[in-house]
Amino acid sequence: MNPPDPTGPVNPKLADFLCFAVYSANLAYGRAYKPILEKLGLTYTQYIAIVALWEEDNLTVSALGAKLFLESNTLTPILKKLETAGYLTRRRNPEDERQVRVSLTEAGRRLREKGLNMTLVKQTGLPVEEFSRLQREVSILRDNLIKAADGA
């Protein structure tokens, strides 16, 4: 009755949805990381925030949020927990008291040396070249979706 057109199938299968593949792969990543991270008392999102700060420190909440695609409503509670855990500091910027600057502590930087600077390549079951290619393609997908959402 209708051609198998992925832009609008009459009876779409869940397994054909890229959005579901991404959704479920994200859940799977959280579960794969959990046994490693819970030894350090970190959640998956907290870990991602720490990795972002390894790359560049002393960021405002907004700047960190731009990297993570998150806003202060999500980020602030997470950063407060990481501060309490001793992995980072939150300080008002004296130049502009509206801003809060986030910096890693020594303990936060040390996490990089605790077997935590890994990307679970083995667990993906992918050869390194495919891993890198997939990483780039999913990032492009994300950027296109953000552009489309902003345009709408």
Partner DNA sequence: TGCGATTTAATCGCATACGATTTATATGGG
Partner DNA sequence: CCCATATAAATCGTATGCGATTAAATCGCA
- Side-chain half-sphere of 68: how many Cα atoms within 13 Å? 28
Largest CA distance in the chain: 67
- Residue 98 interacts, among DNA, a copy of itself, none and using kind-specific CB cut-offs from 5 to 8 Å, with DNA
**150 belongs to the binding site for DNA (CB under 7 A):** no
Judged by DSSP in three states, 126 sits in coil
Chain residues 56-115 in contact with DNA, contact rule CB under 7 A:
60-62, 65, 69-79, 81, 90, 95-100
One-character DSSP codes across 70-120: --HHHHHHHHHHHHHTTSEEEEEETTEEEEEEEEE-HHHHHGGGTTTS---
**134 belongs to the binding site for a copy of itself (CB under 8 A):** yes
Give the residue among 52, 36, 120 at the shortest CA–CA distance from 87.
52
Out of 86, 93, 107, 141, which residue is the one contacting a copy of itself (CB under 8 A)? 141
Q: Which is nearer to DNA, 75 or 104 (CB)?
A: 75
- Residue 37 interacts, among DNA, a copy of itself, none and using kind-specific CB cut-offs from 5 to 8 Å, with none
**Segment near a copy of itself (CB under 8 A), from 33-41, 75-83, 84-92, 99-107?**
33-41
- Residue 99 interacts, among a copy of itself, DNA, none and using kind-specific CB cut-offs from 5 to 8 Å, with DNA
